[in-house]
Chain A
Amino acid sequence: MSSSRTGIGASLGLAPFLVYVTLFLIIPTVIVAIGSVFVDGAFTSDALEALVEPSMLTVTWRTVLLSLATAVIGAVVGALVAYVVATANPTGLLRRLVTSVCGVLAQFGGVTLAFAFIATVGQRGFVTEWLQDNSGINIGDSLWLYSLKGLVLVYTYFQIPLMVIVFLPALDGIRPQWREAADNLGASNWQYWRHVGVPLLFPSFLGCTLLLFANAFAAYATAAALVNQGSPILALQIASALGNEVLLGHENVAYALALEMIVIVALVMSAYALLQRRTSAWLR
């Protein structure tokens, strides 16, 4: 009897945290979900129908392509960098330097990365002017940096570092003993990777690629700072719908777009969590 009383009393200790998370995370999410199908208390599917209009489908498809392309490039290059860092001294300066620079670019980047590329390959960028002076090629005129192609380039610069950070733990889980065992049994380098290394690392690699996809899909800051005209991707559409919500009939388009984003990101992240669980069996 006394244990049940302390049980309830003890649970109260969680109240501040639960109330806070409910207020600032759960309620906003629920508002988005409800707001996309209810306007002034009445059910309407207008906003959801707006999602499948051809123009909106194009935006979604474009966002998927952008996320997919940058996730694959980021995963492949990032995994390679993570591998060469993992084989170095784990407490050495090289590893500290690489992981902290990657941390900055992956999580801090956003707006600053957009300006880094305006300074590099923008109309008056360093590389643009150097190419102009030395070879006569002009890459600054067509404004490609401010379009989807530009977004792919700039996103790659935070996707590769993110891959390095999230893939390193999996590589650290590979024990040198496995390599030695394979050597002792006469395995060649190719056989080791074909039968031991790749099968162990692949679930994690796939999971990290999904994480990168979700990361690009949800990113807003870089695109907002780089793209001044139009809203080529989903995050920018949400922001512009949010700005237009005073327009009659547009109140819940922002909600519906946001709901679409939650659903896609949540699906991808669930798949990521499943793959991570598979990896964690031998990681520790």
Chain B
Amino acid sequence: MSTATARRRNQVLLRWVVLGVVGLLFFLPLLSMYQFATRISSQNPSKWDAFRAIANDPQLTAAIKTSLELCALTAVGMLVLLLPTMVWVRLKVPWATRLVEFLCLLPLTIPAIVIVVGITNVQSWVYYLVTDGPLSLTFPYIILVLPYCYRALDAGLSSIDVITLSEAARSLGASWFTVITRVIMPNITSAVLSAAFLAVALVLGEFTFASLLLFENLQVVIAALGLTNAPVSVAVSLASLAFAAVLLFLLSFVGGRRQGREAV
């Protein structure tokens, strides 16, 4: 008993020492960003100018709008592509489970920069058939978020009885569309939300595709601003980091509920 108590005391001590030191090292760049962005200089005549410029710089607001639109399109597109497929695999073609999982996790092995090199031909069809604007990035972005969203949705679907639910709905005359939107989805709301949140966070931080396919999203403009107006680029970086952190913090509560239910 006493060894366990002493060990717990040591663990708590170690925890605060480690988190204190590492936390300080990670806090320093954030503090520096704040200080750098609010420092008075010729580019930044009063304290909050760099942050105010975020809303007033037309190039930046356009890029933020593009990034937010890409987030929404990618999240919706990912759900439309992935959720019916994953439900279908569980109901009708369980032999394809490993195949779908493998394909979904494949983007972890094929780096974004490699896909960019090979995707030019495919994208030129997208430009021709769908749009030649920055929103064409939605297509590769859905591939980019697949591994993370697959894991989130897979955890959700594993926690409910998909087969019984959909057989019950089908025998009462529901269409497949109704089964997915009104029976399956409401049961895995938290998994759908975490998949969507992850997609949003990943797309907001995406740079490689946009920069090499020559479109301006948030990160591309931050990088470009770094060359002309450093305080503003640091201010946007800090703001977007904070936004993503809040998003993922909220996500941790969504995920926590799901885990709680799984344990029962």
Q: Which residues of A contact B (CB under 8 A)?
A: 6-7, 10-11, 13-14, 16-18, 20-21, 23-25, 27-32, 35, 77, 80-81, 84-85, 87-88, 91, 94, 96-101, 103-105, 107-120, 124-127, 157, 160, 180, 183, 189, 214, 217-218, 220-221, 224-225, 228, 235, 238-239, 242, 254-255, 258, 261-262, 265-266, 269
Contact = CB atoms under 8 A, between A and B. Distances in A.
A91 B263 CA distance: 13
A238 B117 contact: yes
A4 to B, nearest CB: 13
A183 B3 contact: yes
Given A25-B107, A110-B205, A220-B208, 13 more contacts: A16-B85, A28-B114, A84-B14, A96-B256, A99-B252, A115-B234, A116-B32, A126-B36, A220-B207, A221-B219, A238-B114, A262-B111, A269-B108
B53 interface: no
Contacts of B240: 108, 112
Contacts of B245: 100-101, 104
B225 to A, nearest CB: 9
Contacts of A224: 207-208, 211, 223
A82 B115 CA distance: 32
Interface string B20-35: 0010001011111101
Interface in B193-235: 201-202, 204-208, 211-212, 219, 222-223, 226-227, 230, 233-234
B92 A111 contact: no
Interface stretch (B139-147, B159-167, B182-190): B139-147
B114 to A, nearest CB: 4
Given A24-B140, A183-B3, A225-B223, A238 B29 contact: no
B223 A11 contact: no
Nearest to B11: A87
Contacts, number: 247
A14 B189 CA distance: 23
Contacts of B248: 100-101, 103-104
B207 A111 contact: yes
Q: Is the interface of A mostly helix, strand, loop or mixed?
A: helix
A91 B89 CA distance: 33
A24 B143 contact: yes
B4 interface: yes
A38 B131 CA distance: 30
Given A27-B122, A116-B237, A96 B14 contact: no
B207 A261 contact: no
B93 interface: yes
Contacts of B56: none
A91 B28 CA distance: 27
B224 to A, nearest CB: 10
Contacts of B139: 24
B29 A116 contact: yes
B226 A115 contact: yes
Given A84-B14, A221-B208, A96 B109 contact: no
Nearest to B18: A84
Contacts of B28: 120, 127
Contacts of A225: 207, 222-223, 226
B116 interface: yes
A108 B249 CA distance: 14
B13 to A, nearest CB: 10
A97 B245 CA distance: 9
A261 B15 contact: no
A157 B33 CA distance: 15
A239 B11 contact: no
B114 A29 contact: yes
A112 B220 CA distance: 11
B68 to A, nearest CB: 15
A224 B206 CA distance: 13
B103 interface: yes
Contact of B121 (A31, A108, A180): A31
B172 interface: no
B7 interface: yes
Contacts of A91: 256, 260
Contacts of B202: 107-108
A94 B23 CA distance: 12
B249 A258 contact: no
Contacts of A24: 115, 119, 122, 139-140, 142-143
Contacts of A242: 116-117, 212
A84 B19 contact: yes
B11 A160 contact: no
A25 B15 CA distance: 43
A67 B127 CA distance: 36
A101 B26 CA distance: 10
B169 interface: no
Interface string B83-95: 0110011001100
A96 B253 contact: yes
